[in-house]
Structure 1
Amino acid sequence: MNLLRRSLLVAPLALACAIATAQSESGYPNKPIKIVVPFAPGGTTDLLARIMAQRMTTAWGQPVVVENRPGVGGTIGANMVAKAPADGYTLLLGTAHHTIAQAVYKNVPYNFGRDFAPVSVMAMVPNVVVVNMAVPAKTIQEFISLAKSRPGELNYGTAGAGTAHHLIGELFQLQAGVRLVHVPYKGSGPAVTDLIGGQVQVMFDTVTSALPQVKAGKTRALAVTTAKRSSALPDIPTLAETVLPGFDVGTWFGLVAPAGTPAPVVQKIYGEIDRTVKDPDVRRQLLEIGAEPIGSTPAQMGAQIQAELDSYKALATKINLVVE
């Protein structure tokens, strides 16, 4: 077959494929969509996924279902989505835990910065320094003074090694010049129980998780870890405005798709997220649980992910943290 004849045969086929792809993208979605939540039901990740699923179903007339795939710091569900077709029909409700996992886990079966297409950060949940009520410190300044006077004697609980609680705690120690003892638990719930009971003295918990105990007077909030105060705890100062200028770390939640998902599909999903987080009822619902609505663009989310991958990798290297 000569080159001209081959070209004449291939060109119509390429054109047909391009037309089919364009039609598929413009008709998105034309079948059910799945949002994978890589954690157990009931948490902030699950709640946000279900809010988006309901909104997408109503807006697009296609079922959007939430599937919980918990395990190994959120990496099992993430790996499932990384290997899914890049067509916008399988999405991941990702969190800051995924940028941390990439930095500290020894064997992650995907690359979070390379194998996913960022869509939008839906919300940011600040973390908060909370202490057992028997701890004499009433302010973050007093707590740092106490920790410096008792190096290696105060315990801090986390939801497990390599979680946001853990990394924020390590960063706090580095910048504050204190030495705490890390006590990892299998989830935030057991850690909070022991914080209330006094087995650990401090946590760097999410506002969402810490809020009920703080309001009930079972724990004491000292400082918020993000640059801005939490609207759920407006009277609690930030670390940045009190003792650690520039300290700005929180836990984000957002949608990502498999890498290679067509840009028009990503943009359509982003548009629905943007409309959702601007809805007054949704904003009220998020703020009530301590989540700050965001709605960042795909480009903004991509930049944030890369910055976190770099910073957490540097921190993990500095403290020699590797999770098997």
Structure 2
Amino acid sequence: MLKIFAAALVAASMGMGVPAAAQEPTASYPSKPVRLIVGYQAGGPTDLTARLLATKLQAAFGQPFVVENKPGAGSNIASEFVANAAPDGYTLLIAAAPITMAGFMYKNLKWNVQDSFEPVSLLMSAPAVLAVANNVPAKTLPELLDLARKQPGKLSFGSTGNGGTQHLAGEMLKNRAGIDILHIPYKGAAGAMQDLLSGQVTMAFMTSVSAVPLLKEGKARPIAVAAEKRLPQLPQVPTMAEAGVPGFVVDSWNGMLAPKGTSPAIIARLHAEVAKAMAAPDVREKLEAQGAVVVGGRPAEFRTYIREEVSHWDKLLKTMHIKLD
């Protein structure tokens, strides 16, 4: 969960007091277009966050900030691409929660989330919402679990791809509830949502950023929110704990990472403008209306958050025994 860290820790990690000589080479940054790499298809929640941010940063810096989608392998393709990029501030990653899980699920990664990147800012966090297709008779979580137990292996859940937050949320539900449901991975949120809305898959854990508008329109039926408290945007929908599965909290989040070795002065410049962008009323309104918590936190806070997420998923995945290669 998001935490507020001591100001002293933040100040120490922000590189305050960096000598002027070290900052001088970055005085003109950026002097050319900056690439924001997204490991998912266009149209999903991470892509939405990246494009909202790109517009603000382009206006602030006077240089193009171009969103490039490099989907595949649970966003690992994009992560490796940025990890291997020059640490000059011109290739940045708009990361999502699966980046902190990948090291436990893939054997041969050539990067490490804690060692291959410089944190810039945690941008936003959004809970997962369990929704079912409108042709599913279950109206509540207990009814859905009862249906699954009566038809082992027959019901399905869609996700944005192997190793993603939605995939792991579904595996958690199988593990906690003792049910057998079939995982259907897609290459992004768009495909998973399309087949949920058409009834081709039974259920999906949808990020609230993409779920709330569709659920309010009645295109799928919300069953429960994987959060500690109900969403104001869906006040009638219980939490997973209220619905009978305690301790079931799954957050999707987005953050900006730079390649390891990027100048502290560049990181500081980026963070300052990212914080302003995420605090902009139109950005906050767009994201908060869809159930997101806007953060815009400092590099030290994001580094601590990543460390805590890695520890959390390490413990959890050991109980589920999931490996993808």
Q: Which residue of 2 aligns with 1:45?
A: 46
Distance 1:28 1:187, change over 3 A: closer
| Cα distance in 2 between the residues matched to 1:177 and 1:76 | 33
Which range is displaced more, 249-258 or 265-274?
265-274
Find the residue that maps to 1:224 and give its secondary structure. Answer: strand
SS at match of 1:133: coil
**1:11 match:** none
Deviation at 1:125, TM superposition (A): 2.4
Query: Within 5 Å, which residues of 2 pair with 1:168-247?
Result: 168-247=169-248
Give 1:59's aligned residue: 60
Question: Which moves more between the two structures, 24-33 or 109-118?
Answer: 24-33
Going from structure 1 to structure 2, the CA distance change for 1:199 and 1:68 (only over 3 Å counts) comes to closer
- The amino acid that maps onto 1:224 is V
1:85 positional shift: 2.2
Q: Secondary structure at the match of 1:205?
A: strand
Stretches of 4+ moved more than 6 A in 1? none
Aligned to 2:141: 140
In 2, distance between residues paired with 1:48 and 1:218? 23
Please say if residues 23 and 265 of structure 2, whose CA atoms lie closer than 8 Å, have aligned partners that are also in contact. no
Contact 1:316 1:322 in 2 (8 A): no
1:258 paired residue number: 259
Question: Which one has the bigger helix percentage?
Answer: 1
In structure 1, the gaps of 5 or more residues are: 1-17
The answer to whether the Cα contact below 8 Å between 1:103 and 1:316 also exists between their aligned partners in 2 is: yes
Match of residue 22 from structure 1 = 23
The residue type paired with residue 203 of structure 1 is A
Separation of aligned partners in 2, 1:117 and 1:231? 34
Q: Deviations over 1:103-157 (max 9, x none)?
A: 2123222111210111111111221111122333222233334434544443222
Change (3 A) 1:160 1:59: closer
Distance across 1 between alignment mates of 2:41 and 2:187: 12
Percentage of pairs with the same residue: 40
TM-score calculated relative to the size of structure 2: 0.84
Q: State the Cα deviation string for residues 230-256 of structure 1 (Å, max 9, x = none).
A: 343233222134423332211101101
Structure 1 equivalent of residue 123 of structure 2: 122
Alpha carbons 2:74, 2:162 under 8 Å: kept: no
Q: Is the 8 A contact 1:231 1:287 kept in 2?
A: no
Q: Residues 62-117 of structure 1, C-alpha deviation per residue, up to 9 Å, x if partnerless?
A: 33222232332222222121112223222111111222323212322211121011
Point out the structure with max Rg over C-alpha: 1
Name stretches of at least 5 consecutive residues in structure 2 with no aligned partner.
1-18
Cα 1:185–1:76 change in 2 (3 A) is closer
What is the identity, as a one-letter code, of the residue corresponding to 2:282?
A: D
SS at match of 1:222: strand
Write out per-residue CA displacement over residues 184-237 of structure 1, whole angstroms, 9 at most, x where no aligned residue: 334333333333344432211222333344233232101111224334323322
Native 8 Å contact 1:104 1:313 kept in 2: no
Count of residues paired in the alignment: 307
Change (3 A) 1:241 1:67: same
Q: What residue in structure 2 maps to residue 284 of structure 1?
A: 285
SS class of match (1:85): coil
Q: Is the 8 A contact 2:45 2:207 kept in 1?
A: no
- 1: distance between equivalents of 2:168 and 2:30? 38
Residues of 2 paired with 1:105 and 1:304: CA distance? 21
AA matched with 2:316: L
Cα offset, 1:278, TM superposition: 1.7
State the shift of 1:283 in Å: 0.8
2:78 matched residue in structure 1:
77
Residue type of the alignment partner of 2:74: G
User: Which AA in structure 2 matches 1:230?
Assistant: L
Q: Which secondary structure state, in structure 1, belongs to the residue aligned with residue 37 of structure 2?
A: strand
